[in-house]
């Protein structure tokens, strides 16, 4: 062990070993893994070791697919067996809704290139797993590349392969302190003090404590998880093939063969947190006593699904802890405000996702960004609000208890809510607002009559007609939308304009104007679809997606320069948008200055009644609109004033569901759908906003795309012959049975009365009029490419 390394990885489980391996594989051999006891001492040794293809997030499913491919590679490279049993896997559906969801999920897997899976009937499922009962099964999804591995052997294979490439592994050496230095970090251990440029927290059950050593409060918590292993079972021993990995979603169980017996794991409804502040340092190979009373109901379902269990002896009970994040996904990447401190924790499915996490983090450290779009695992998807202990307890428990419970796209889950509310929240609630959540903030979805309950569904909601009326107010009258849920950053200082000019790929707006501004990474991929406003007093605003506040602030901080002051206004500024053809009439009633002179994409300071506000003439709905930004203390008064002024004009409060319907009628993309860090300007059409004559981050790659063969796929608008459901995202698009693209987002266009979608397709199929098809909730529907902006293509309404 040396006194200096480029990277120190803390934690000798599967994730830490994978990070070490990938760093070494990419050429950084001056790297060291430090483990307080021995490799696997924590969660890795007692994990069930299953791997499977399914994940609700396609990007995470891709990380899983990479991991599965990697396992045989590290076995060969290290010479250490990983004990792989490629049994294939079954995921069962026991309700019509689940079967519908599984058919839809199958199509999503096709979109991301997982082609070795297929839908199976009840009888086919029973034939594949003959020891299970087929009662209640409607069908299933079979995947070829599912099975299980030897967990201890896999960790040693990662570590062994890393050591062969020059990496160092040090066991029995606990980290005691972490001290930030000018060059990086000082890692104080039981044996010595090590200096390094980068520290990776892959400490698993101890991630909380290792975070606190660096002044970081990570939103993680361990929860106990049960599985049992039986003695030999005659029905299993008599088979001429190994049982497939089987997940019974309605039964809350997963199953695999273990020698001539079975391993059955349970995700029970009654979750059990353990050591919320992290495991004791002395803990390693211990387990908790099984709690049969807590898992009784789910256990009975498992015994009904596999009748042979009823006569089998139980050889081993495992009740051990795994670390979870609020949404169950890993926490990976650079921690905002802690240069050189990285996380690779809360990877509760470490043997399934660990390979992909290790690859992405190594790329991030060495090359500056990962190859894949990893926002779904990025530690910056949470803010400081997630440090709250009750929030962590509620959300991690909710995720655990719903691990096998269906969550619908229109379903709002209660854990950790309500947290932050706009000042006018109570007034809007009394007016019938139904709320969703964005990051920590309650945001309006729509306004419904008293007693209305939305039914969770994969298809069109029973709120469909309510949203239609709100869209009508936008298109024909005047609507009021709470826009607290937009992010706002203030940029000022002597070097503010020059700094903005470098990080934004577009021209900057002139004083008193706003401009759409793509922001690119060094490799020319998107980092934001933002709006820059120049207030004319030397200050600028950057506006974007509220839930990206920490993510964008980390990017801004990483590229900060002298002479620039940057402030996140998310706790200070909120507001309302007045939208629709009658919006100017409302504004004329309340604004002291002449508002008629404010033209499209102009902005300025106005007196809105007694409220001193910053107003911008813009709207993402494609209608004439005004965004009024005020202090938090003015929000209630501003709402009252606008409602009173708009009452004679029939003003209607609306939510973001109506905005999403109207924006797709204009082919306006949004972040996380049309725009992500996995896409380029040429793919998404954002290149039309680029100022090619100036220098900006990512310019060289963007020029290469522009001057080369162009992107592999381009954005189009589709009209779909849908029935009772609309596209939502990642549905595959077909032409003559060949997959030619996928949906990025979709919605019902209430004004046009059509089902529309935005999509990325092969350039050869992007011409207007191209006949295609797309699967909507598993059912193939005909579709065609139409001209962008089917509503008001000339933009006359928003410029009126």
Q: Which of 179, 175, 188 is nearest to 215 (CA)?
A: 179
The 3-state DSSP class for residue 567 equals strand
- Unique residue bearing structure tokens 């050593």: 213
Tokens of 168: 């160092």
The reported pLDDT for the residue numbered 268 is 92
Tokens of 426: 């109570």
Task: Write down the H helix ranges in 129-268.
Answer: 151-164, 207-213, 234-237
Sequence-ordered strand ranges (E) for 461-572: 479-482, 486-492, 513-520, 526-534, 540-545, 565-568
Task: Write down the H helix ranges in 631-737.
Answer: 635-646, 656-665, 681-684, 699-707
Task: Please answer whether residues 685 and 639 qualify as being in contact, where contact means their C-beta atoms are separated by less than 8 angstroms.
Answer: no
The reported pLDDT for the residue numbered 23 is 98
Look at phi and psi of residue 577 and say left if phi exceeds 0, alpha if psi is from -120 to 50, else beta: beta
pTM over 0.85: yes
In angstroms, the CA 478 to CA 40 distance is: 61
- Give the 3-state DSSP-derived string for 145-166, with helices as H, strands as E and coil as C: CCEECCHHHHHHHHHHHHHHCC
CATH of the domain at 772: 2.40.30.110
Any domain includes 692: yes
Any domain includes 243: yes
Any domain includes 750: yes
Q: Which stretches of the chain drop beneath a pLDDT of 50?
A: none
The 3-state DSSP class for residue 596 equals helix
* Residue range(s) defining the domain that contains residue 740: 671-798
Any domain includes 566: no
The reported pLDDT for the residue numbered 41 is 96
The number of domains in the chain is 2
**What H or E segment, with its residue span, contains residue 488?**
strand 486-492
The reported pLDDT for the residue numbered 57 is 77
In angstroms, the CA 533 to CA 738 distance is: 44
The reported pLDDT for the residue numbered 254 is 97
Any domain includes 546: no
The residues, any chain, with a CB within 8 Å of residue 603's CB and separated by 6 or more, are: 512, 513, 514, 533, 534, 535, 614, 615, 616, 617
Any domain includes 469: no
In angstroms, the CA 362 to CA 344 distance is: 10
The reported pLDDT for the residue numbered 580 is 98
Any domain includes 484: no
* Strand-pair category, 441-447 with 175-180: unpaired
- Unique residue bearing structure tokens 């009904």: 304
Any domain includes 89: yes
Tokens of 26: 């990419």
CATH of the domain at 196: 3.50.50.60
**Cα–Cα separations (whole angstroms), residue 128 to 104, 132, 153, 233:** 22, 9, 28, 18
């Amino acid at each position: 062990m040396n006194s200096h390394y480029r990277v120190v990885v803390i934690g000798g489980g599967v994730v830490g070993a994978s990070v070490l391996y990938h760093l070494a594989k990419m050429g950084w051999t001056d790297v060291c893994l430090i483990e307080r006891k021995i490799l696997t001492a924590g969660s890795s040794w007692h994990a069930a070791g299953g791997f499977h293809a399914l994940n609700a997030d396609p990007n995470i499913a891709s990380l899983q697919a990479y991991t599965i491919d990697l396992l045989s590679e590290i076995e060969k490279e290290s010479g250490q067996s990983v004990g792989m049993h490629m049994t294939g896997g079954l995921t069962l559906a026991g309700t019509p809704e689940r079967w519908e969801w599984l058919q839809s999920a199958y199509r999503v897997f096709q979109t991301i290139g997982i082609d070795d899976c297929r839908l199976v009937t009840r009888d086919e499922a029973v034939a594949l797993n003959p020891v299970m009962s087929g009662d209640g099964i409607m069908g299933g999804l079979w995947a070829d590349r599912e099975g299980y591995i030897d967990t201890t052997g896999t960790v040693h294979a990662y570590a062994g392969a890393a050591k062969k490439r020059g990496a160092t592994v040090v066991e029995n050496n606990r980290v005691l302190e972490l001290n930030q230095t000018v060059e990086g970090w000082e890692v104080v251990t039981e044996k010595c003090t090590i200096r390094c440029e980068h520290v990776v927290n892959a400490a698993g059950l101890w991630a909380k404590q290792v975070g606190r050593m660096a002044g970081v409060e990570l939103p993680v918590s361990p929860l106990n998880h049960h599985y049992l292993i039986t003695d030999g079972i005659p029905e299993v021993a008599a088979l001429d093939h190994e049982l497939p990995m089987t997940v019974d979603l309605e039964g809350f169980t997963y199953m695999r063969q273990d020698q001539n017996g079975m391993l059955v794991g349970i995700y029970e409804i009654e979750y059990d947190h353990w050591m919320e502040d992290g495991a004791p340092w002395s803990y390693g190979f211990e387990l908790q006593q099984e709690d049969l009373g807590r898992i009784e109901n789910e256990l009975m379902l498992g015994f009904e699904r596999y009748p042979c269990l009823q006569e089998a002896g139980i050889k081993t009970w495992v009740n051990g802890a795994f670390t979870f994040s609020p949404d169950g996904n890993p926490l990976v990447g650079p921690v905002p405000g802690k240069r050189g401190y990285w996380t690779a924790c809360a990877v509760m499915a470490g043997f399934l996702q660990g390979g992909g996490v290790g690859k992405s983090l190594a790329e991030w450290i060495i090359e500056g960004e990962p190859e894949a779009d990893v926002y779904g695992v990025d530690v910056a998807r949470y803010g400081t609000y997630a440090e709250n202990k009750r929030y962590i307890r509620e959300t991690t428990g909710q995720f655990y208890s719903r691990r096998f419970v269906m969550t619908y796209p229109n379903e709002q889950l209660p854990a950790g809510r309500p947290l932050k509310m706009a000042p006018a929240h109570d007034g809007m609630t009394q007016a019938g607002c139904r709320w969703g959540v964005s990051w920590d903030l309650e945001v309006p979805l729509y306004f419904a009559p008293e007693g209305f309950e939305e039914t969770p569904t994969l298809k069109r909601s029973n709120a469909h007609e309510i949203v239609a009326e709100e869209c009508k107010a936008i298109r024909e009258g005047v609507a009021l939308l709470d826009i607290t849920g937009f992010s706002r950053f203030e940029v000022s200082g002597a070097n503010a304009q020059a700094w903005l000019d470098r990080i934004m790929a577009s021209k900057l707006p002139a004083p008193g104007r706003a401009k759409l501004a793509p922001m690119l990474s060094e490799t020319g991929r998107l980092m934001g679809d933002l709006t820059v406003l120049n207030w004319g007093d030397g200050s600028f605003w950057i506006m974007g997606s509220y839930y990206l506040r920490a993510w964008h602030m980390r990017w801004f901080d990483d590229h900060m320069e002298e002479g620039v002051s940057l402030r996140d206004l998310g706790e200070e500024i909120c507001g309302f948008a007045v939208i629709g053809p009658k919006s100017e009439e409302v504004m004329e009633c309340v604004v002291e200055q002449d508002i008629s002179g404010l033209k499209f994409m102009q902005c300025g300071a106005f007196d809105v009644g007694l409220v001193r506000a910053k107003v911008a003439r813009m709207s993402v709905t494609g209608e004439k609109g005004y965004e009024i930004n005020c202090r938090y203390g003015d929000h209630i008064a501003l709402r009252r004033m606008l409602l009173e002024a708009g009452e004679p004009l029939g003003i209607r409060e609306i939510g973001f569901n109506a905005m999403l319907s109207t924006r797709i009628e204009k082919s306006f993309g949004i972040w996380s759908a049309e725009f992500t860090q996995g896409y380029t300007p040429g793919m998404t059409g954002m290149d039309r906003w680029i100022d090619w004559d100036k220098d900006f981050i990512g310019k060289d790659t963007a020029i290469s795309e522009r001057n080369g063969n162009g992107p592999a796929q381009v954005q189009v608008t589709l009209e779909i012959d849908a029935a009772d459901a609309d596209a939502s995202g990642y549905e595959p698009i077909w032409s003559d049975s060949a997959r030619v693209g996928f949906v990025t987002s979709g919605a019902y266009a209430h004004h046009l009365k059509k089902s529309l979608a935005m999509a990325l397709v092969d350039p050869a199929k992007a011409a207007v009029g191209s006949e295609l098809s797309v699967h909507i909730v598993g059912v193939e529907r005909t579709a065609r490419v139409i001209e962008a902006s089917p509503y008001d293509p000339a933009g006359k309404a928003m410029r009126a």
